[in-house]
Structure 1
Amino acid sequence: MTTMEQKGNSFYLFGITLVAAIGGLLFGYDTAVISGAEESIKKYLIDSQGLGSFIHGATISSALIGCIIGGIISGFFASRFGRKNSLIFSAAFFLISSLGAAHPEFLFFTKGDPSIGLLIAFNIYRILGGIGVGLASAVCPMYIGEVAPAHVRGRLVSFNQFMIILGMLVAYFVNFSISHGETQSWVDETGWRYMFLSCGVPALLFGVLLLIVPETPRYLFLKNQDDKALSILTKINGSKQANAILKEIKETIEDVASEKLFFYGKTVIIIGILISVFQQFVGINVALYYAPRIFESMGAGKDASMIQTTVMGLVNVVFTLVAIMTVDKWGRKPLLIVGSIGMAIGMIGVSSMAFFDVIGVSTLIFIIIYTASFMMSWGPICWVLISEIFPNKIRGQAVAIAVTAQWAANYFISSTYPVMMEHSSTLTYGFYGLMSILSAIFVWKFVPETKGKTLEEMEGTWTKVA
């Protein structure tokens, strides 16, 4: 027996993690690409029809409807078709959405002039892309969490968040390169189409690479494919550990068909939902979706706002790396609490600047403090916890519920932002600051530490209902 067979192949583990995490990159790319196209979409499809801020917010957030749908169906897809095939479905949705959002006339209409019909077609394609995001957001962390050994699981699931942020950063650069040097009228008429079309490249790559990665060993065991499960566990963990892990899985998945969602009580489900909801109620996606407009409102021009947004993207990457390097050393709870405090400082600072009508570098600094704090904590750690707190027997259903709640909260926060800002920017950002404070209290009181525990050991945290 070779040393690699005894200790496991870390290169193999990172390779399959990297492929799965491309789903995270697509998640981030699709989320951020709208930031560069948002103002052009408003002018081309909304203002031209005389529609108001509510339709504007609903259109920019339309993909989130698909995300909610994707979250709802993710449990069924992951359980019925497997984690790997669910990600392949996700890649297909991404590709169709990219092509359709770039050219919404395709299939639905033959005329490209702005119209209510064209706006509806655009939203349909964005919803399809949202379904892909919803699936990927649930299944990518689940996939990585189920293949990763306990001592590096936090780091590898956090890597998925790094890929989300990298996807956002790539989208910011692509949006900037498309708009740079062009007239605003060209961007409003044509440029936004290229922004959405660019998402098709990573979507196609994702779908092709998924064909060469394995299914997760825990899912294979659920489907009575013990030999395949053991083979993959051996490649990842080495032969000695693989047999021990398979034994643990076997003990915790016996009679899985008879298990109900609340077999471990309601507490674990409620905690999972609240982790997801707080991640959105702190307002992060407002900063992501509307970043260029926020900077333009601070006095920056089109190119300057794109540059500042890109700088934010770089900050996000750096602080996500901080989370990756510390999550398995410091634990999940300390990072979340520190991040919540930092987010509260950032958002309360932005709220104060808005109250005193101060626009400038100080506002940018508070926004960077806020986003950096989120990226080193709630950004990656939320997904880490969702992938590991639920017992094997209910993971598919429970993750679907938590992710659906997250996307519903995301839609609510993102779609209400324009209307809230029309009334009071001070109260809007103050609300996000208050949610940051409440999130710290919630983690301190209710969220268990999962550092270093196997997925099977986590089952003992929850009380089984007789």
Structure 2
Amino acid sequence: MMKKQNSIYIIAITLVATLGGLLFGYDTAVISGAEKSLEAYFIESLGLDTFVHGITTSSALIGCIIGGLISGYFASNFGRKKSLLIAAALFIVSALGSAYPEFLFFTKGEPSIALLITFNIYRIIGGIGVGLASAICPMYIGEIAPANIRGRLVSFNQFAIIFGMLVVYFVNWGIAKGQSLAWINDLGWRYMFASEAIPALLFAVFLLFVPETPRYLAMKKQDSKALQILEKINGSSEAKSILSEIKQTVTIPKDKLFSYGKLVIVIGILLSIFQQFVGINVALYYAPRIFESMGAAKDASMLQTIVMGLINVVFTVIAILTVDKWGRKPLLIIGSIGMAFGMIGVSTMAFTGIIGISTLIFIIIYTASFMMSWGPICWVLISEIFPNKIRGQAVAIAVAAQWAANYFISSTYPMMMEYSGGLTYGFYGLMSILSAIFVWKFVPETKGRTLEDMENIWITKQDKYSA
């Protein structure tokens, strides 16, 4: 089978699409190096409270919710490729605007409420790009990839997200290294945001050279173009039968959202919510602050963040290598157990007041468990569990739910920590336990199945639950 597939072509297309994932990670994690400077520049100088700081740190997530909600419309009406080009443009605007929000209307060095709002608007613009990319990149890869390696290729998108975070950790550390706190609070944070414009521009350029997905082209009745791409990917002997199978599930008009029952939609939403309620983005967004609370100096805290980023990359690679061998469910359940152990350990340390290397070890166990499971596998499942005729709408809802949950968890973290660190981390540990039970009871195994098989899976389940 694999000999007939054009693996070089498939990998090249996947790498371009995963640049969207890299920007997703870069944009969401760049704030980790800048958030304390933003607190000094805006929050403290204007006499604002921790609630506003939480909102500012998480403002991009408002855009992510919007981007997730509109992703289905964009993907269905403009195509997967053009939607990703729009996302690239939004990344560029956000990077430059966040770095210099004073552009045209304000004076540099004079913070104000209006300037803070403008900064947040630029971050929201970038968030819309992230929301679009987070939904459409896995969808694009899932629709391009052959069934036998789809899990691995979609998982590359999560690798790119984590790699983007690791890159920006290095960039932030490099910018801050050896500099005074005053310089970082004045200029350093601006360079951190501006650096995103470079990968965003590369993403836009490379997208010009990749094709639209064959499933989208078939939906638009461009069968000859779809066949050409399928022949390049799968070889001529397989292409016609694959196109015939695709046409059986896309030539009928789009179904209503609940045509396959409510269960598939609820499972997609809960996958997204659990991925965020386990608290991963707290560890990613506030990593330097967490390490500083453990007694690390600023430079050392950013260096520890890089170490954590490297561990994340290693364990994401483990997921890529095992997702098409072990399946989706086993990895999710194992990851949930590891996350629960890590977060309950951090919670215990917080209650006892023991802050040190033991806390760091529990955080590493927690993040490593997430990166080998819920990090990549959630996106794999969201890209593949929905039938073709409702995929655009269903993915948009699932992704919007994910970003709404992300925003809720990230923006409430500072307030929760003020109340009780032990209870905060204990809550994330409880969510990890519940996520394991949810996967065990409700999530179907999709390993090795074609996207067209999903229709039969959910029709069968609908009949079972309605009987």
- TM-score bucket of the superposed structures, by smaller chain: over 0.9
Instruction: Choose from 310, 333, 348 the match for 1:314.
Output: 310
C-alpha separation in 1, matches of 2:106 and 2:208:
34
Contact 2:219 2:251 in 1 (8 A): no
Q: Deviation at 1:110?
A: 4.0
Q: Does 1:34 align with 2:46?
A: no
Matches within 5 A, 1:121-132: 121-132=118-129
C-alpha separation in 1, matches of 2:315 and 2:415:
31
Match of 1:44 in 2: 41
Q: Secondary structure at the match of 2:452?
A: helix
C-alpha separation in 1, matches of 2:12 and 2:104:
38
Q: Does 1:65 align with 2:62?
A: yes
Instruction: Choose from 15, 18, 22 the match for 1:18.
Output: 15
Q: Deviation at 1:271?
A: 0.3
| Equivalent AA in structure 2 for residue 350 of structure 1 | V
Superposed CA deviations along residues 108-141 of structure 1, whole A, max 9, x for unmatched, are 4244411111111110000000000000000000
C-alpha separation in 2, matches of 1:111 and 1:424:
38
C-alpha separation in 2, matches of 1:207 and 1:112:
32
Instruction: Choose from 106, 109, 114 the match for 1:109.
Output: 106
Q: Does 1:448 align with 2:439?
A: no
Q: Secondary structure at the match of 1:49?
A: coil
C-alpha separation in 2, matches of 1:108 and 1:77:
32
Indicate the larger mover: 232-241 or 401-410: 232-241
Match of 1:283 in 2: 279
Q: Secondary structure at the match of 1:462?
A: helix
Match of 1:357 in 2: 353
Instruction: Choose from 335, 338, 355 the match for 1:339.
Output: 335
Instruction: Choose from 240, 246, 254 the match for 1:243.
Output: 240
Q: Secondary structure at the match of 1:380?
A: helix
TM-score, with structure 1 as normaliser: 0.98
| Equivalent AA in structure 2 for residue 246 of structure 1 | L
Superposed CA deviations along residues 402-429 of structure 1, whole A, max 9, x for unmatched, are 0000000000000000000000000000
Contact 1:8 1:239 in 2 (8 A): no
Instruction: Choose from 326, 329, 343 the match for 1:330.
Output: 326
| Equivalent AA in structure 2 for residue 277 of structure 1 | I
Q: Does 1:154 align with 2:151?
A: yes
Matches within 5 A, 1:173-322: 173-257=170-254, 259-322=255-318
| Equivalent AA in structure 2 for residue 337 of structure 1 | I
Superposed CA deviations along residues 342-400 of structure 1, whole A, max 9, x for unmatched, are 00000000000001000110000000000000000000000000000000000000000
C-alpha separation in 1, matches of 2:197 and 2:250:
39
| Equivalent AA in structure 2 for residue 292 of structure 1 | P
Q: Secondary structure at the match of 1:173?
A: helix
C-alpha separation in 1, matches of 2:377 and 2:181:
39
Q: Secondary structure at the match of 2:106?
A: coil
Instruction: Choose from 49, 53, 60 the match for 2:50.
Output: 53
| Equivalent AA in structure 1 for residue 195 of structure 2 | S
Contact 2:250 2:388 in 1 (8 A): yes
C-alpha separation in 2, matches of 1:394 and 1:410:
24
Taking a change above 3 Å as real, the CA distance of residues 108 and 460 of structure 1, as seen in their structure-2 partners, is: farther
C-alpha separation in 2, matches of 1:341 and 1:106:
48
Q: Deviation at 1:31?
A: 1.0
C-alpha separation in 1, matches of 2:76 and 2:237:
28
| Equivalent AA in structure 2 for residue 94 of structure 1 | F
Give ranges in structure 2 of 5+ residues lacking alignment. none
Q: Secondary structure at the match of 2:41?
A: helix
Superposed CA deviations along residues 12-63 of structure 1, whole A, max 9, x for unmatched, are 0000000000000000001111000010000101110000000000000000
Match of 1:80 in 2: 77
Q: Deviation at 1:247?
A: 1.0
C-alpha separation in 1, matches of 2:21 and 2:170:
17
Q: Deviation at 1:231?
A: 0.6
Contact 1:332 1:450 in 2 (8 A): yes
C-alpha separation in 2, matches of 1:90 and 1:220:
20
Match of 1:386 in 2: 382
Instruction: Choose from 387, 399, 403 the match for 2:399.
Output: 403
C-alpha separation in 2, matches of 1:184 and 1:111:
18
Percent identity over the alignment is: 75
Q: How many residues align?
A: 462
| Runs of 4+ displaced beyond 6 Å | none
TM-score, with structure 2 as normaliser: 0.98
C-alpha separation in 2, matches of 1:89 and 1:73:
12
| Equivalent AA in structure 2 for residue 406 of structure 1 | Q
| Equivalent AA in structure 2 for residue 248 of structure 1 | E
C-alpha separation in 1, matches of 2:422 and 2:334:
24
| Equivalent AA in structure 2 for residue 331 of structure 1 | G
| Root-mean-square deviation (Å) | 1.3
| Equivalent AA in structure 2 for residue 287 of structure 1 | A
Instruction: Choose from 423, 431, 436 the match for 2:432.
Output: 436
| Equivalent AA in structure 1 for residue 183 of structure 2 | W
C-alpha separation in 2, matches of 1:290 and 1:112:
25
Contact 2:250 2:389 in 1 (8 A): yes
Superposed CA deviations along residues 249-301 of structure 1, whole A, max 9, x for unmatched, are 111123224x1111111110000000000000000000000000000000000
Match of 1:414 in 2: 410
Contact 1:154 1:384 in 2 (8 A): yes
Indicate the larger mover: 240-249 or 415-424: 240-249
Contact 1:112 1:118 in 2 (8 A): no
Q: Secondary structure at the match of 2:30?
A: helix
Contact 2:80 2:216 in 1 (8 A): yes
Q: Secondary structure at the match of 1:212?
A: coil
